[in-house]
Structure 1
Amino acid sequence: MRKDQTVVEMRGITKRFPGIVANDSISFQVKKGEIHALLGENGAGKSTLMNILFGLYEPDEGEILINEQKVDIKDPKKAIELGIGMIHQHFMLVEPYSVVQNIILGTEPTKGVTIDYAQAVRKVEELSAKYGLQVEPHQLIKDISVGMQQRVEILKTLYRGADILIFDEPTAVLTPQEIKELMEIMRSLVNEGKTIILITHKLKEIMAVCSGVTIIRRGKVIDSVTVKDTTPDELAAKMVGRKVSFSVEKQDANPSDSFLKLSNVQALDNRGILALKNLSFELKKGEILGIAGVEGNGQRELIEVITGLRRVESGEILIKDKPIHNLKPRQISESKVGYIPEDRHKTGLVLDFTVSENMVLKNYFYPEYNKNLFLNYDKINHHAVDLISEYDVRTPSETTPARALSGGNQQKVIIAREVDSDPDLLIATQPTRGLDVGAIEFIHKKLIEQRDKGKAVLLYSLELDEIMNLSDRIAVMYEGRIVGIVDPKKTSEQEIGLMMSGSKSGGEESA
């Protein structure tokens, strides 16, 4: 095969769904041995196009060529036969099964009438070593990290002989360290002759590992460029159709009364191990307090005890001097607390409910939407239409099931619902995870608006840039404790990094 050979070519691909044209006569090419990015806003049509290439959808119009030969990909089995593998944003793994069982599922090698696990393990270990994946074949999926689960998905495609790998938003659920490791894995794959298509909206990753990029906006190709001949600013402008600001503009905070106070809070994790250790801090109205830390240092448990999703073993949590620890989530919500959860699928949305139903999950029982035990769908839908417009939710209609929206637009539904409830305390956990630069800019403005209206905002994010840019104070967590609370204007990422690793404490230190 020639080095410059086109391994994937899609010509005039059109895909329609009820009320929307997801792909509108899209054409693009990928050369052998390159990492080629598909860049676009949430709902631009990137995943739909790659689902067509992988055989999950059939195009209404257009044709596909693999290695310059026209092919008909009617299902994933045909795609796999053609050497195409897809690593989905939401992993397709069976949690109680081991790594090797997941990798060979559906393609089990046999010895007589039994599965030859020894042969499978050898092959998995060989592939793992060859591509630097460092996966332990006998571990159960439920016992390994999200980053390691992604490596299992990569191994699954390699085990099936894939030469063309599609990564769908692969860094959306990874820690910064795992992202760096994934970039190295991708480079290793192309060095071994693989070709990668990267679906993403993260410009930093495109500039780091990609050679080419095709920009899609609202179902149409806007441009295809080589990465070395462009800049993040140019890509962002092409993606959203306007200039995008990467900095967060805000005035100095004017904090007032104390709204949330934690005193010596202790709580257990899901294994029964102490996750929060005598944790104390205070959050005032009119400020954003950022929670920074390496994932797994108690941040999730902290959010859950405040929102009523986890029991407090000792200590107290006060809202306006009234104890709320160990109350039910609905009671805490009715204390004017808004909550943007970390996992939009598990705790943010009811995926089979419509967009409009999801937007009233917190207040469907109010007289405005509920009369004599019957929901007033006229008012519910009218309310949703207003929020869809205000938050630029890309959906065919307000009655579309939430499941049918892109991940970023699902996130916008949650943020619209929580901010519209006019909370005095807004808890935002990973609020921009999976969002494109335009949407991130919009959400950041909304959080600043809440602060400037005198609301208290508690922000938990694994994106240190986001914490530094948005927060008025930053509380750094390490091993279930707050090791320091610092002013972002008077600190640096390096100092916060040392605090996150437990090497340093500082600021308003807590025990």
Structure 2
Amino acid sequence: MADVTHASNAPPAHLAAGTPPILELVNIAKYFPGVIANENVSLNVFPGEIHALLGENGAGKSTLMNVVTGLYQPDAGEIIIDGYGTTFPAPDAAIAAGIGMVHQHFRLVPRFTVAENLHLGWSETPRRLSGKDIEERASALSKKFGLPITPSAVVSSLSAGEQQRVEILRVLSRGARLLILDEPTAVLSPVEVGELFSALRRFRSEGGAVVIISHKLDEIMALADRVSVLRQGRLVGTHQTCDVTPDSLVTEMIGRPVTLATSYPRQSPAPAGGEAEPLSLKQVTVRDAAGVVRLDDVSLALRPGEVLGIAGVTGNGQPELAEVLTGLKAAESGTVYLNGKAANRADPAMFAHAGVGHVPEDRLKRALMPGLSVAENMALREYDRPPIGGRFSFSMAQARKFAQMLADRAGVKLPGTQVQIRGLSGGNQQRLVLEREIRIASHVLVASYPSRGLDIGAISAMRDMLARARDAGVAVVLMSEDLDEIFALSDRIAVLYAGRLMGVMDRADADRESIGALMSGRNLSEAA
């Protein structure tokens, strides 16, 4: 490890030798009850550098950056900015020192406009400004930093990529010299990823420093100058990106080589044909609150013991399809059949009791209650059933026992079931949600982007869990923007484009070219 320590002190190859770092961390430690979040972590970040921070979910990446930004106070070690030791008692002190962080889950006010969000809580916002004035100031900031926005737009109407630009612009407008991004591409389309990377490279070329937390190794290899790897809260290496490979980084992150399987053979015989369809749609159309058609005349049937992959660029009707399949949204027209019977009203409890489980794409907003304990979150779907509860009772002791059982089955190590679930890593949250929903899913499991924001080890575990559900006879619907994942797990592949079902193909008949053509809006005859 001696040469690793040496590498951690060396600036990126494109910077002059002797360039002083903007940030140095010396033996940082952070502990929570029963958990070592960080211990003896030392690394540095230079101006004009994009520095990637890698590690499994729960390795301590976000905790370390929360220490840097003043959200947490270190239990040991020193933070050095521009050569001077410092402490940040609160985030505003870090912001004043030029350090800003854009979190994985955006912290904008949805009902406010872009301009209002940019000026909210900013010391330089004049006391008396008209709406026109703050929009003009927002436009000026947009031009200054090269991040296009619509100042008058209400944040709730923006795409994930547009909201992220607002977050970054808000940080940069406050004079950030060090920009920290936590899983910035997790919910972005490929076009938005390209736009983000262009903005980050421009910021770097102007002397800014970037720390990016990500699990997407291909993006890290293309973007970062150096990469640091955490494992179980400790730094295990810092490298020039040109000196490592994705495989070597995975081995360093996990402690052993891990390769995602390209297929998941059945461990039990496939169900015989002719079995009843547990869930199907016939000519279903759905509109959103603004009256825009999101699903257009969609007919689709699920089969027991099969994975149906839903491919398509994000924003082409996937959320609405998941909501219809799980009883969260009613069809405007057409019919939803649940176990052979029409079920056209929105009733998620009825769907759950009929054996339909759901892993939403945003676990913190749609699957979990962040302020509640692990035990309470795991009991959310079974609080009215023995042994946890009943008509007029609820047993917290049984809820904790139940949560521990789910954690053990999911391979999640807990400091205790009474801790708030927001304190767990994203990967551990996702494993618990998936295990909870598999229990519900006696017939159907709808999994929307289940590997989003997960490291390779957690993705491997998640795929194994989906394959086991399939082998148990469950009809699994897998929505993913990762075609490798779709091809690895699916028995059939359906493609959505602009809310229309472009086609359904057996996996054996599908290839990237035909699926890609359907994703771009061409039909099967054109794709051929």
Report the TM-score when normalising by structure 2.
0.91
> What residue is the counterpart of 2:522 in the other structure?
503
- How large is the Cα RMSD of the aligned pairs? 2.4
Cα distance in structure 1, aligned partners of 2:482 and 2:145: 27
Q: Does 1:67 align with 2:78?
A: no
- In structure 2, do the counterparts of structure 1 residues 185 and 493 end up closer, same or farther at CA, with 3 Å as the change threshold? farther
- In structure 2, do the counterparts of structure 1 residues 284 and 192 end up closer, same or farther at CA, with 3 Å as the change threshold? same
Q: How many residues align?
A: 508
- Deviation of 1:290 (Å): 0.9
Matches within 5 A, 1:13-24: 13-24=28-39
Residues 109, 116 of structure 1: 8 Å contact kept: no
Which residue, out of 283, 305, 313, partners 1:286? 305
Cα distance in structure 2, aligned partners of 1:506 and 1:450: 34
Cα distance in structure 2, aligned partners of 1:428 and 1:61: 41
Report the AA paired with residue 77 of structure 2: G
Report the AA paired with residue 209 of structure 1: L
Residues 23, 80 of structure 2: 8 Å contact kept: yes
Matches within 5 A, 1:347-358: 347-358=366-377
- In structure 2, do the counterparts of structure 1 residues 151 and 508 end up closer, same or farther at CA, with 3 Å as the change threshold? closer
Mind listing any 5+ residue stretches in structure 2 that lack a counterpart? 1-10
Residues 328, 346 of structure 2: 8 Å contact kept: no
Cα distance in structure 2, aligned partners of 1:70 and 1:122: 39
- Deviation of 1:394 (Å): 4.1
Report the AA paired with residue 178 of structure 2: I
Residues 513, 527 of structure 2: 8 Å contact kept: no
Residues 485, 506 of structure 1: 8 Å contact kept: no
Mind listing any 5+ residue stretches in structure 1 that lack a counterpart? none
SS of 1:375 mapped into structure 2:
coil
> What residue is the counterpart of 2:467 in the other structure?
448
C-alpha offsets along residues 205-258 of structure 1, whole Å, 9 cap, x if unaligned?
211101111111111111111211111111111112221112233227835423
> What residue is the counterpart of 1:262 in the other structure?
281
> What residue is the counterpart of 1:343 in the other structure?
362
SS of 2:85 mapped into structure 1:
strand
Cα distance in structure 2, aligned partners of 1:463 and 1:169: 16
> What residue is the counterpart of 1:417 in the other structure?
436
Cα distance in structure 2, aligned partners of 1:305 and 1:61: 50
Cα distance in structure 2, aligned partners of 1:495 and 1:66: 52
Cα distance in structure 1, aligned partners of 2:417 and 2:201: 42
> What residue is the counterpart of 2:97 in the other structure?
82
Cα distance in structure 2, aligned partners of 1:238 and 1:72: 31
Greater fraction of residues in strand? 1
Cα distance in structure 2, aligned partners of 1:85 and 1:367: 48
- Deviation of 1:272 (Å): 2.3
Which residue, out of 209, 223, 242, partners 2:223? 209
Report the AA paired with residue 65 of structure 2: M
Cα distance in structure 2, aligned partners of 1:95 and 1:129: 23
SS of 1:172 mapped into structure 2:
coil
- Deviation of 1:443 (Å): 0.5
> What residue is the counterpart of 1:390 in the other structure?
409
- Deviation of 1:195 (Å): 0.6
Cα distance in structure 2, aligned partners of 1:131 and 1:265: 44
- In structure 2, do the counterparts of structure 1 residues 425 and 372 end up closer, same or farther at CA, with 3 Å as the change threshold? closer
- Deviation of 1:118 (Å): 6.7
Task: Tell which deviates more after alignment, 268-277 or 245-254.
Answer: 245-254
SS of 1:305 mapped into structure 2:
helix
Residues 305, 326 of structure 1: 8 Å contact kept: no
> What residue is the counterpart of 2:253 in the other structure?
239
Q: Does 1:141 align with 2:155?
A: yes
C-alpha offsets along residues 53-84 of structure 1, whole Å, 9 cap, x if unaligned?
11111111110111222222222222112111
Report the AA paired with residue 474 of structure 1: I
- Deviation of 1:131 (Å): 4.0
Residues 58, 424 of structure 2: 8 Å contact kept: yes
Report the TM-score when normalising by structure 1.
0.93
Task: Tell which deviates more after alignment, 154-163 or 418-427.
Answer: 418-427
Which residue, out of 497, 503, 523, partners 1:484? 503
C-alpha offsets along residues 304-357 of structure 1, whole Å, 9 cap, x if unaligned?
112111111222122332222315111111111111112212220122222122
C-alpha offsets along residues 355-383 of structure 1, whole Å, 9 cap, x if unaligned?
12222222222222226733233332222
> What residue is the counterpart of 1:154 in the other structure?
168
Residues 124, 159 of structure 1: 8 Å contact kept: no
Residues 264, 488 of structure 2: 8 Å contact kept: no
Cα distance in structure 1, aligned partners of 2:74 and 2:263: 43
Task: Tell which deviates more after alignment, 306-315 or 437-446.
Answer: 306-315
- In structure 2, do the counterparts of structure 1 residues 262 and 508 end up closer, same or farther at CA, with 3 Å as the change threshold? farther
Cα distance in structure 2, aligned partners of 1:213 and 1:394: 27
Cα distance in structure 2, aligned partners of 1:120 and 1:279: 44
- In structure 2, do the counterparts of structure 1 residues 505 and 115 end up closer, same or farther at CA, with 3 Å as the change threshold? same
C-alpha offsets along residues 113-147 of structure 1, whole Å, 9 cap, x if unaligned?
62377775555434433543211222221222110
> What residue is the counterpart of 2:3 in the other structure?
none
The alignment-based identity, stated in percent, is 42
> What residue is the counterpart of 2:57 in the other structure?
42
